[in-house]
């Protein structure tokens, strides 16, 4: 079972439905105790970083997310759900994130329209990662955001961000971090549930990883 954390904000139902479409047993979960038994966890998010963090903490699902990550449960953050994995965001100074990933989220570079609200091409820095398996060299995904994790030297290799943290970027005035992964924690700045066949394939990759981690017989390979 994949728990889609329902803290009252975000693309909750669409993420749940898209996962169900690819064959996953996905359910909206608002009770932290229900999330504790899940085989996989998804943290969606849209809108303001501070409001999302406040709602997540008020619901108690912040602890459910952290417990799942600490236990090695496959985890997927989407859009602001990805941003909340970091230490904080320029959008909401003084509001701490979950701190699972080092660094902060910053505003997109100047000289481009904010938000980025469009389809954009992914540039795969780690094309062998199971998150992007089967997507081809330059898949298109749908973005809606004005902030993203800050690009720092070494994030795509050994260094502060961890080996291979950045799986994909896109170009929007400058390189923008579009997808990251550290162990069983995967996250995307774009919305796979709104990204057509490529997005559904990515969600199927996550569902396959959940099934394999749960020891489901005949679980598909990504």
Q: Are 86 and 99 in contact (CB under 8 A)?
A: yes
Q: Which of 16, 52, 79, 91 is catalytic?
A: 79
Catalytic residue among 52, 129, 170, 191: 191
CA distance from start to end of the chain: 18
166-171/175-182 β-pairing = antiparallel
Beta strands in the chain (DSSP E): 2-5, 26-29, 40-43, 75-78, 88-89, 104-107, 116-121, 123-124, 140-145, 147-149, 166-171, 175-182, 185-188
String of b and e for 148-171 (b: at least 16 CB within 10 Å)? bbbbbeebbeeeebbebbbbbbbe
Active site residue 191: yes
**Catalytic residue (one of 16, 145, 170, 193):** 193
What Rg, from alpha-carbon coordinates, does the chain have?
A: 16
Centre a 10 Å sphere on the Cβ of residue 83 and count the other Cβ atoms it contains. Answer: 28
Which residues are annotated as catalytic? 79, 191, 193
């Amino acid at each position: 079972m994949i728990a889609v954390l329902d803290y009252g904000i975000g693309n909750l139902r669409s993420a749940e439905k898209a996962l169900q479409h690819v064959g996953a047993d996905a359910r909206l979960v608002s009770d932290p105790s229900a999330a504790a038994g899940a085989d996989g966890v998804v943290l969606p998010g849209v809108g303001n970083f501070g409001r999302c963090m406040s709602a997540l903490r008020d619901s108690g699902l912040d602890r459910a997310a952290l417990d799942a990550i600490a236990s090695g449960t496959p985890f997927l953050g989407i859009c602001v759900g990805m941003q909340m994995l970091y230490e904080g965001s320029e959008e909401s100074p003084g509001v701490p994130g979950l701190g699972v990933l080092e660094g902060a989220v910053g505003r997109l570079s100047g000289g481009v329209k904010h938000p980025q609200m469009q389809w954009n091409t992914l540039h795969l820095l780690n094309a062998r990662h199971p998150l992007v398996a089967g997507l081809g060299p330059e898949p298109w995904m749908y973005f809606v955001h004005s902030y993203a994790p800050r690009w720092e030297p070494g994030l795509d290799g050994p260094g502060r961000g961890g080996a291979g943290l950045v799986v994909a970027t896109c170009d929007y005035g400058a390189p923008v971090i579009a997808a990251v992964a550290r162990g069983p924690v995967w996250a995307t700045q774009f919305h796979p549930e709104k990204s057509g066949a490529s997005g559904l394939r990515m969600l199927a990759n996550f569902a396959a990883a959940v099934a394999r981690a749960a020891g489901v017989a005949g679980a598909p390979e990504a």
